Chain A
Amino acid sequence: MFDAIVIGSGMSGGISAKELCERGLKVLLLERGRKVEHVTDYNDTQMPWELPNNNAIPEEELARDYPVQGQCYAVNAATKQFWVKDSEHPYLTPEERPFTWIRGYHLGGRSIMWGRQSYRLSPMDFEANAKDGHGVDWPIRYDDLAPWYSHVEKFIGVAGSKENLPQLPDGEFLPAWEMNDAEKLFKVSVEQKFPGRKVIIGRNANLSQAQPHHEELGRTSCQNRSICERGCSFGANHSSLSSSLPAAERTGNLTTVTDAIVHSLVQDPKTGRITSVRVIDAKTMEGKTYEAKVFFLNASTIGTAQILLNSISEANPRGLCNKSDQVGRNIMDHMYALSTIGVMPDYPKDSYYRGRRPTGIYIPRYRNVTEEGGDYVRGYGYQGAVIRRGGMPDAATPGLGQDIKQRGREFGPWIAYISGFGEMLPNPENRMTQDAVRKDKWGIPLLNISVDFSENERKMAKQILTDGRAMIEGAGGMVISQATKPGAPGLGIHEMGTARMGRDPMTSVFNGYNQAHEAPNLFCTDGAAMTSSGCQNPSLTYMALSARAAHHAAEWLKEGKL
């Protein structure tokens, strides 16, 4: 029997396992996908011309096996191994309310391919639901999580600049990456034209300067390759494989089992305690049961809710911990791909930069902070960059031979692009349910995921584009391309909210310690637990919640309370 079982080895599960192991608990980590080895399984050493088909996935294979995953920017031949085959892992989604479910089933999960942007939620984010009445109130406030943000930032390594902004609290930062000359100009122009708005360098979980505690784990400083999503042999970005799992393993307390698909959790109807987890071996189909004193759900937002919904018993006919009927509801993502692109004709023509910086610029939220939001609540931030993309000449321009080569050698104008990330409100109708008939090959019901934007999001999307144009133009640019609507929900890959934290067991699933209202030894610290979404990239918050919940779970276990 283990002290704790952590279900899922990705972004949040890695931290849960590490924190529990470091507190002396014997931990079993279950991963539904295959084992992946740090460094040896990465495709980051190949030169571009060594990748098959110029790094493209064969068209028929892409259409057959990756129709959903293929919509993600990071899917290519070099990263193909880290995305599920949609053909092997089907789900259902209505045509008029489609959800794009981007995922990877392997040790480390999406922590290998993530975008690494790392931002804290702010006091106003934790108060938002209570203030405007959407969803339910968070059971915690910023101050509850602040020390755990610090704890996680130090461990994973987050590069960033101190900005002293109430809507985007500073953290424990490694030295920030620098802006290039065009970005510095863009910053000055936007901040002058739009008082209250800020253009800052993106905060990212790449080691700008590895610290001794990173080097102890075999991690080294970032080499500015920007092929992070292939897995980094330098261990320069935080992933479960480079960082949290090695830290867990060195305690001697970690046991990892891969190819272990969690079917359901078993609850003792008398005590409410979870007694065991039922697992199916992905390869042999063999069923197994593991017991522990404490269970952590870190199977990802959709995966965690799926386990709860599939844990049906006489006492729990609609799934475990679901008296509130909130399991599987309130799916949120961030509105994504609301991009505006402009050329900056007057930006410095004699300036360039060297290296592929693994972050961009960030414009923190200002709507309903320093500027009114008009007819919608909440707000949005922008990620982007100002780059000078010389090099590869455009084949669509007529010309041959020396014309093409000459164009390739020329330095073009600076290009600015900013892409909005808009907050989605919790809406119980955005939900996932288990199909009554169809099952996957392990006998688990297929999911039906149905999500759409609401009026608030549609209004916000419009403003994101209007503001995007105004800022590019205000900074001296000419807009050459602009999105017209956000990508389908899910494409932001920030899905969250399916088993939210809250104060009231009748309207929420987990309490302020990420502990299930209906099962005292069950915790959930992945995106499922999120009560609202903010507009910041959420992984850092999942990790902070994981560390905090692991701390309390370990304490309570020691005190005999669990």
Chain B
Amino acid sequence: MIEVTDRHVDRREALARIALLLGATALPADAMAKALQGRAPSLPSGQFALLSAVADTVLPATDTPGALAAKVPQRLDAMLAHWAAPTTRDAILAGLQRIDAAARTATGKGFAKLNAKQRETVLRAHDAAALAKAGTTTTTGKFPFTATVAVADAGYLQLKSLIVDLYYYSPEAAATELIYEHVPGPFEPSIKLTAQSRPYLGVGPF
């Protein structure tokens, strides 16, 4: 059994909880964020500030919440501490550091010290160069869609992928950008798309 990071979920209430979710369109409170509040990041403060600045630039608040509201820096920090092997962690942090280096080369200041507009300018240039295709893309048989794209800066791609994934798998993004239904109910095989339609966030193999 998984220990939920936020709180102890009473398993005996599992069915009752599902019943509550049935038909519920609003998403439950952001329990994860609550748990993350007050927890010191594992990264040194300078690096965490850099990570936050990058996440905020990759997915800023627009007409919808951004990466900061979705607690992406805190959740990514937790993954670096609890999920990543040392080589992965080093690669991601090196990718992060190269953004800072690019900022210093371009402006003489660290990335986190720049204003939003400057950050965007620096990261846009860096993003384009870092994601230049290098070598061949490999796919694995694990999922039909699992592809490893070879790019100039693999550490940066991994960093950006985690920022994007964690953002979309957040209550904030699922309530505004996409739709996540934990308990969809009956399958509807044909829906007419309108200008208001939003894609569903997938989970699991289908």
Once the chains are docked, how many angstroms separate the CA of A137 from the CA of B30?
60
A531 to chain B, nearest CB (A): 28
Query: CA separation between A41 and B1, bound complex, in Å?
Result: 6
Whether B145 contacts A341 by the Cβ 8 Å rule is yes
Contact A49 B170 (CB under 8 A): yes
Within 8 A of B (CB), among A211-242: 223-229, 233-234
- Complex interface bits, B118-155 against A, C-beta within 8 A gives 1, otherwise 0: 00100110011001000000010111110101010000
Let me know if B106 is at the binding interface, CB within 8 A. Answer: no
Q: Which of A60, A224, A349 contacts B184 (CB 8 A)?
A: A224
The residue from B57, B59, B62, B83 contacting A53, defined by CB atoms under 8 A apart? B83
B193 close to A54 (CB less than 8 A): no
Query: Which residues 95-133 of A sit at the B interface, judged by CB distance below 8 A?
Result: none
Assess whether A351 is in contact with B193, with CB atoms less than 8 Å apart: yes
Contact partner of B188 among A56, A226, A355, A399, CB < 8 A?
A355
Contact A355 B184 (CB under 8 A): yes
Contact string against B for A residues 17-51, beta-carbon threshold 8 Å, 1 for contact and 0 otherwise: 00000000000000000000001111111111111
B26 at the interface (CB under 8 A from A): no
| A54–B124 CA distance with the chains assembled, in angstroms | 26
Q: A358 on the interface (CB 8 Å rule)?
A: yes
In the complex, the answer to whether A227 meets B203 with C-beta atoms within 8 Å is: yes
* CB of B185 within 8 Å of the partner chain: yes
Q: Do A390 and B11 have beta carbons less than 8 Å apart?
A: no
Restricting to B1-31, which residues have a CB under 8 Å from any CB of A? 1-6, 9, 11-12, 14-15, 17-18, 21-22, 27-28, 30-31
Partner of A78, one of B2, B164, B189: B2
Tell me if A309 is interfacial: C-beta within 8 Å of chain B: no
Chain A residues closer than 8 Å to B111, beta-carbon distance: none
Chain B 88-113, CB-CB to A under 8 Å as 1, else 0, gives 10000000000000000000000000
Does A397 count as interface, using CB distance less than 8 angstroms?
A: yes
- Residues in B neighbouring A354, C-beta threshold 8 A: 181, 184, 187-188, 191, 200
Q: A43-B2, A224-B185, A389-B202 are in contact. Are A52 and B177 (CB under 8 A)?
A: no
CB neighbours (8 Å) of B149 from chain A are: 396
Is A393 positioned at the interface, with any CB of B under 8 Å from its CB?
yes
Complex: A223 Cα to B183 Cα, angstroms? 6
A435 to B126, CA, bound (A): 55
- Asked whether B69 is an interface residue with its Cβ less than 8 Å from the other chain, the reply is no
Return chain B residues, CB-CB under 8 Å to A45: 9, 14, 17-18, 21, 182
For A388, list chain B residues within 8 Å (CB): 199
Instruction: List residues of chain B with CB within 8 A of the CB of A351.
Output: 190-193
Known contacts A233-B14, A398-B127; A352 and B197 CB within 8 A of each other: yes
- Nearest-CB residue, chain A, relative to B20: A45
Give the shortest distance, in Å, between B35 (CB) and chain A (any CB): 10
Residues of chain A within 8 A (CB-CB) of B17 are 45
Count, A-B residue pairs, CB within 8 A? 242
Q: Flag whether B85 is at the interface (Cβ < 8 A).
A: yes
Once the chains are docked, how many angstroms separate the CA of A415 from the CA of B202? 14
Let me know if B5 and A52 touch, CB within 8 A. Answer: yes
A285, CB-defined interface residue at 8 Å: no
Which residues does chain A contribute within 8 Å of B200, judged by CB atoms?
Answer: 354, 356, 390-391
Name the CB-closest residue of A to B165: A54
- Closest chain B residue to A230, Cβ basis: B204
Contacts of A269 in B (CB 8 A): none
Q: Determine, out of A175-183, A324-332, A510-518, A535-543, the stretch whose residues face the partner at the interface.
A: A175-183
Is residue A357 within 8 Å, beta carbon to beta carbon, of the partner chain? yes
- A487, B202: Cα distance in complex, Å: 25
Residues of A within 8 A of B174 (CB): 48
Residues of B within 8 A of A357 (CB): 187, 189, 206
CA distance A385 to B204 in the complex (A): 14
| Cβ-defined contact, A389 with B145, below 8 A | yes
**Most chain B CB atoms below 10 A, which of A71, A391, A491:** A391
Quick one: closest B residue to A387, CB to CB? B206
Q: Is the CB of A353 within 8 A of B190?
A: yes
CB nearest to A357 among chain B residues:
B187
A59 lies within 8 A of B184 (CB):
no
B32 sits at the interface (CB 8 A): yes
What are the residues of chain A within 8 A of B30 when measuring CB–CB? 49
Q: Is the CB of A71 within 8 A of B160?
A: no
Q: In the assembled complex, which residues on chain A have CB atoms less than 8 Å from the CB atom of B5?
A: 50, 52
Contact, CB under 8 Å: B82 / A178: no
**Candidates B75, B79, B183, B191; contact of A225 at CB < 8 Å:** B183
Does A161 count as interface, using CB distance less than 8 angstroms? no
In the complex, what distance in Å separates the CA atom of A357 from the CA atom of B190? 12
Apart from A226-B206, A391-B199, what 19 extra A-B contacts exist at CB < 8 Å?
A: A39-B15, A40-B11, A49-B170, A50-B5, A73-B142, A178-B189, A225-B204, A349-B193, A355-B181, A355-B186, A357-B187, A357-B206, A360-B206, A396-B151, A398-B131, A400-B58, A402-B62, A405-B62, A417-B144
Q: List 22 A-B contacts (CB under 8 A).
A: A45-B9, A47-B27, A49-B169, A52-B2, A72-B142, A73-B142, A74-B205, A177-B187, A224-B187, A339-B141, A339-B144, A350-B193, A352-B191, A352-B192, A352-B197, A356-B200, A389-B145, A391-B199, A402-B62, A405-B177, A410-B199, A411-B193
Q: Which residues of B contact A (CB under 8 A)?
A: 1-6, 9, 11-12, 14-15, 17-18, 21-22, 27-28, 30-32, 57-60, 62, 64, 75, 78-79, 82-85, 88, 120, 123-124, 127-128, 131, 139, 141-145, 147, 149, 151, 157, 160-166, 168-171, 174, 177-178, 180-193, 197-206
Closest 7 CB pairs of A and B: A390-B199, A337-B141, A355-B184, A59-B85, A40-B11, A355-B187, A53-B83
Residues on A close to B: CB < 8 A?
A: 39-54, 56, 58-60, 63, 71-74, 77-78, 80-81, 177-181, 223-229, 233-234, 336-337, 339, 341, 349-358, 360, 385, 387-393, 395-402, 404-405, 408-411, 415, 417, 419, 481, 483, 487, 491
